[in-house]
A = this chain, B = another copy of it.
Amino acid sequence: MTHTFFETHRDTLTRAVEAIHSRTCWSAYPEIPSGKVYGETAKDDGQKAFEARLNQPFDLPGHPGAGRTGAEASPYGFDLGITYPKVELNELFAVVNRAEQAWKQASVEDRVGVCLEILHRLNQRSFEMALAVMHTTGQGWMMAFQAGGPHAQDRGLEAVAYAWDEMKRTPAEATWSKRVGKEETVTLRKTFRIVPRGIALTIGCSTFPTWNGYPGIFASLATGNAVVVKPHPGAILPLAITVDVARQVLTEAGFDPNVITLAADEISAPITKDIVQRPEVKIIDYTGGSAFGDWIEQNAKHAIVYTEKAGVNSVIIDSVDNLKAVTGNLAFTLSLYSGQMCTTSQNIFIPREGIETSEGHKSFDEVAGALVKAVDWFLGEPKRAAEVLGAIQNENTARRIDQARSEGLTVLRESTPVTNDAFPKARVRSPLILKTDSGDRDRFAREMFGPIAYVIATANTDESIRLAAEVARTQGAITCALYSTNPDVIEKAEHATADAGVPLSTNLTGSIWVNQAAAFSDFHVSGANPAGNATLCDSAFVAGRFRIVQSRMPIAN
């Protein structure tokens, strides 16, 4: 059965491995939510499946637990009413440990085959997943479909490809023959066994539970580790569906479904710290806020820790060809999912003397004004605004906007509630844009997560580059955008941002945005500044999840 899975998806794996080596544009799972691709009834089926989940216990056959937990509320204004098994940690780790025994002995092909089949079935469930992601994270439907479905599946597949590649780098066996004397040759048969590290824990976030969760989950599974999935209490459903699908595939393949388990909780009774401190946990993948991520990095010394935390992302505007194309591009970046992406820009550095454009010199205020105008125009169409902004995932983010508003800076653009006709109770806020100066580090050199941007007047582009790099180095950063028509400036910025460990996107206009990261090509988070210690994905992300233990024995020469 398991070998069937591997053979069925072997081509996908081969192409994924080629893609990570070439880093050209490739995707295994179609991002267009089309009936032609997914089946004409797929959208309706997904809607029905999602609705059937509401106000019901989420059933996970054979899953440990005593009682139920879960209190998710859609940012679009209603309670999901779904409950999940409430796990008791001693019982959880006992069953996971048992389940892991056969999983770690399975062949690389069997494990990878199971992973590929799980991804395939998740792909088929993308419409259901879209609604699960939408009504936990607050993403608009289209984004929830793409980022929560096929793009997340691609990132999972990328992790499987890296794991496969890594496990296959060392041969399973070798013959070692050495002449040790005039008459004597020693010949050893050596076997190299892949030994997984132990139980892996994936800690999900509230904004991209699948996209950020899949790489760690699939990298750990493929390399033979059992995985405990600890979703954010505000976004359990997408990972519960994932775990459910994975358990079905594991069962069909003859494995204990508890190779992957769900450890759900509620905000009022968090269990993450307790799980992190369990000595059985040998691998931790974390996505979320910096404070808790730092705590894990400092305290989980018994485990390998991979983190994606938060950062402060910059835009450096030096000189532009077409100002309207630039501000239009940035307007989308600031609006998409109300700035709740870890890749969204927060600080926009512009020389206070203004910039050169193909239409002549533009003052600081003219550039800032053009940006505000672009956001206003973009959000002027209510249906588009509702779809792109989505909803604010939680009340703290909404309150943060008020906090930023109250600090006395000049408001270039007010954040206003926006009506969503389909969901009148949705928590929607448009981007707040504030103006400040390069001396105001206390304000801009901190993460203000949500639809909050600072337009910052600098002495010149040199200062802009220096500040963007400095903030990245001290606070972390995941993206940096540059607009410049000057090759020397581009080169200088490339050096400075590389040194600060932040990827640079230069002169993006049209249908490509700084906050996008493509699986198989873009390394997401560099691991080289405080925004995180790992990358999605590279060898370092997978190589530590298993060890090679050898056995050697003489054979006849």
A residues neighboring B (CB under 8 Å)? 21-25, 166, 169-171, 174-178, 180-181, 184, 186, 188, 190-193, 195, 197, 297-298, 301, 490, 494, 497-499, 501-512, 518, 521-523, 526-528, 535, 538-540, 543-544, 547-554
By Cβ-Cβ distance, the 4 closest A-B pairs, closest first, are A540-B543, A528-B547, A23-B174, A180-B511
A541 CB to nearest B CB, Å: 9
A472 CB to nearest B CB, Å: 10
Bound-state Cα–Cα, A521 to B24, Å: 34
Contact B549 A498 (CB under 8 A): yes
A346 CB to nearest B CB, Å: 20
Which B residues are in CB contact (< 8 Å) with A504? 550-552
Tell whether A508 pairs with B554 under 8 Å between CB atoms, given A190-B23, A539-B543, A540-B540. yes
Which B residues are in CB contact (< 8 Å) with A186? 510-512
Bound-state Cα–Cα, A22 to B498, Å: 35
Which B residues are in CB contact (< 8 Å) with A522? 190, 550, 552
Which B residues are in CB contact (< 8 Å) with A518? 176, 178
Jot down 19 A-B pairs with beta carbons below 8 A, ordered by A: A21-B171, A23-B176, A23-B190, A24-B174, A24-B176, A25-B178, A181-B511, A188-B512, A193-B498, A297-B301, A501-B547, A502-B549, A503-B549, A503-B551, A504-B550, A506-B552, A523-B549, A527-B547, A538-B548
Contact B550 A503 (CB under 8 A): yes
**Number of this chain's copies in the complex:** 2
A31 CB to nearest B CB, Å: 10
Select one of B180, B544, B548, B552 contacting A526, CB under 8 A: B548
Can you name the residue of chain B whose Cβ is closest to the Cβ of A175?
A: B24
Contact B521 A554 (CB under 8 A): no
Which B residues are in CB contact (< 8 Å) with A506? 551-553
Which B residues are in CB contact (< 8 Å) with A192? 23, 523
Tell whether A177 pairs with B24 under 8 Å between CB atoms, given A538-B543, A543-B538, A547-B501. yes
Bound-state Cα–Cα, A521 to B174, Å: 8
Which B residues are in CB contact (< 8 Å) with A171? 21-23
